[in-house]
Structure 1
Amino acid sequence: MTHPGPAGQGPGSDAAYVFAVCRDTRAVQTADLTGLPGMPGGGRVRLVASGALAAVVQTVPAADFTDEVWQTRLADRQEIERYARAHHEVVSAAAALGPAVPLPLATLYHDDERVRGVLDDEAARFHGALRRIAHHAEWGVKVYRSTAPPEPRVAAAPARPGPPAPGAGLAYLNRKRGVHDRREQSRAEALSVAESVDAELRGLAAASRRLRTHGAALAGEQRVHVLNATYLVAADRADALRRAVEALRERTDAQIELSGPWVPYSFVGEA
């Protein structure tokens, strides 16, 4: 789905903000979404239906979502988190009624008619995504390994005048080489753990994605982030996933963080 902004609209004009697309079922039709705040300054949250699909939308001031305004907002962490939370709250409410395809933050169209046109034009894609995520949730898994302990420091011998003892330089190089070798071994073991965790969890999932791992600043000085992945898991396999993670913690001695269940943002394809 494309994400055109409200370019070309005059001052004071409105745009249709789209949160999610779902099936136009009785549960969706009878749900009261009007109590959700949605985007700051927007109207009531409502449905725009076409065929067997319905979009969860809100009328918002077009001037609040111009490229210039949105770029400024992206630079303000608190402000962008405020909009992201508002977006996620509506998406979560829609997903509670049945499978819902979450749309990216700040997806806007000129008006309801254009939204209906997109529902018609992209119907096959939306239906495919809805089938894929029905009765499934997204789970996040992060795996950390403790960093290798530093090499024990040996007290330096008192300084003595005269030339260094024979072989002192070679001993120093060997110590440095040993530190490097231990680091490489620890890194290889950590990556092996990440692969084994991912392989086992993929066996429980309908789909999975590997994401970028965090740097040392986010992971912490005492651990290294070796796996950042997300899994699409059927609702009836959620308990099996939890048990598998607990067993992997015990077997690998790794720090494994499990989060979820979430709306499956990562598995809706291009919709």
Structure 2
Amino acid sequence: MTERGPGQPSDESAVYVFAVCEAPDPAAFAGLPGVAAGEPLRRLRCGALTAVVQTVRAADFTDEVWQARVADRSELERYARAHHDVVSAVAASCPTVPLPLATLYHGEARARQSLLDESERFRAALERTAGHAEWGVKVYAAEPPEPAPDPDPVPLRPDRAAPGARPAPGAGLAYLERKRGVQARREQRHEEALRVAETVDAGFQDLASAGRRLRLHASVPEENGRVQVLNATYLVAEHLKADIEALTRTLRDATGARIEISGPWVPYSFVGEV
């Protein structure tokens, strides 16, 4: 839906769209700067729906400028936060479909027509997410330390053995058995981690209206030897907030895993490709 070209005159304007909803309260987002300081946020009627928009300089969102912005982490975070602040404020006043960061059009007429063309999808998303919030769930299992090196390994190449030295009877078999044991324990821990992930996911799926599994994050030193086994997000009715917290405590006790929850959020992950 985003219209962005290689370059526009510096004085040309564009319409940045934050979200689509039914009847947003303008007081909810009054005073927010949006992504263009000095330009007020406003409502744009699109048939029975309303978009929350802002006029921006088209030259600030060309392909070249936006790619440079994406490469600058602090600048990208600033824009993402400004976008999220507007979406959250609108969602606090009515069911809302958030649009992706940097969704813009060349003029109000283009914006209105494009949004009207997607009105059925917006309505379906509003019906699906009304009265719901998104909760993120991350599960970490303890990653045991690597076993200590074998104190008496069998040489892999006999020609490198000490002169006159001979492996003790059965040493080769014992060495292989130890290696098989290490591998078996590693596989067992992996299977246990998968079971923990399935148990936690099943618990939240029972409570949620919908759920999505996301790509696992690689383990990092800051996690103190823990590895992520589940990264998921769930669409949960707003009145079940206490149940989410109670379920998290129950699953922590039952699995022994570290379970982190975040939310409630505007349901970005459950509005579909809009």
TM-score by length of 2: 0.90
Q: Deviations along 1:19-38, whole A, 9 cap, x unmatched?
A: 10110x2xx24425331011
Contact residue 6 and residue 15 of structure 1 kept, 8 A: no
Candidates 53, 57, 60, aligned match of 1:61: 57
Q: Deviations along 1:82-136, whole A, 9 cap, x unmatched?
A: 1101110001011011111000001001111222212322111111111111110
Which has the higher mean CA deviation after the structures are superposed, 33-42 or 248-257?
Answer: 33-42
Quick check: 1:113 aligned with 2:109?
yes
Instruction: Give the Cα–Cα distance (whole angstroms) in 2 for the partners of residues 141 and 76 of structure 1.
Output: 28
Instruction: Give the Cα–Cα distance (whole angstroms) in 2 for the partners of residues 169 and 7 of structure 1.
Output: 67
Candidates 152, 165, 170, aligned match of 1:162: 165
Letter in 2 for 1:113: A
Quick check: 1:137 aligned with 2:95?
no
Q: Deviations along 1:222-271, whole A, 9 cap, x unmatched?
A: 11111000000001122112111110000000111011000000000122
Extract unaligned runs of 5+ from structure 1: none
Extract unaligned runs of 5+ from structure 2: 154-161
Q: Which residue of 2 aligns with 1:4?
A: 3
**CA-atom RMSD, angstroms?**
2.1
Instruction: Give the Cα–Cα distance (whole angstroms) in 2 for the partners of residues 244 and 188 of structure 1.
Output: 23
Candidates 182, 185, 188, aligned match of 2:185: 182
Aligned positions, number:
266
Candidates 46, 50, 55, aligned match of 1:50: 46
Q: Per the alignment, in what secondary structure is the counterpart of residue 122 of structure 2? A: helix
Q: Deviations along 1:129-184, whole A, 9 cap, x unmatched?
A: 11111110000000110013443667669x99632222222222221211111111
Q: How does 1:31-110 map to 2 (within 5 A)?
A: 31=27, 33-41=29-37, 43-110=39-106
Instruction: Give the Cα–Cα distance (whole angstroms) in 1 for the partners of residues 253 and 229 of structure 2.
Output: 17
Instruction: Give 1:43 deviation, angstroms.
Output: 1.2
Instruction: Give the Cα–Cα distance (whole angstroms) in 2 for the partners of residues 250 and 47 of structure 1.
Output: 48
Q: Per the alignment, in what secondary structure is the counterpart of residue 243 of structure 1? A: helix
Which has the higher mean CA deviation after the structures are superposed, 97-106 or 215-224?
Answer: 215-224
Quick check: 1:237 aligned with 2:252?
no
Aligned sequence identity (%): 57
Contact residue 17 and residue 108 of structure 1 kept, 8 A: yes
Q: Deviations along 1:1-21, whole A, 9 cap, x unmatched?
A: x12225664331110000101
Q: Per the alignment, in what secondary structure is the counterpart of residue 135 of structure 2? A: strand
Instruction: Give the Cα–Cα distance (whole angstroms) in 2 for the partners of residues 180 and 200 of structure 1.
Output: 31
Instruction: Give the Cα–Cα distance (whole angstroms) in 2 for the partners of residues 7 and 71 of structure 1.
Output: 11
Instruction: Give the Cα–Cα distance (whole angstroms) in 1 for the partners of residues 190 and 182 of structure 2.
Output: 12
Contact residue 144 and residue 256 of structure 1 kept, 8 A: yes
TM-score by length of 1: 0.91
Structure 1 segments, 4+ long, off by >3 Å, are 6-9, 149-157, 218-221
Q: Per the alignment, in what secondary structure is the counterpart of residue 55 of structure 2? A: strand
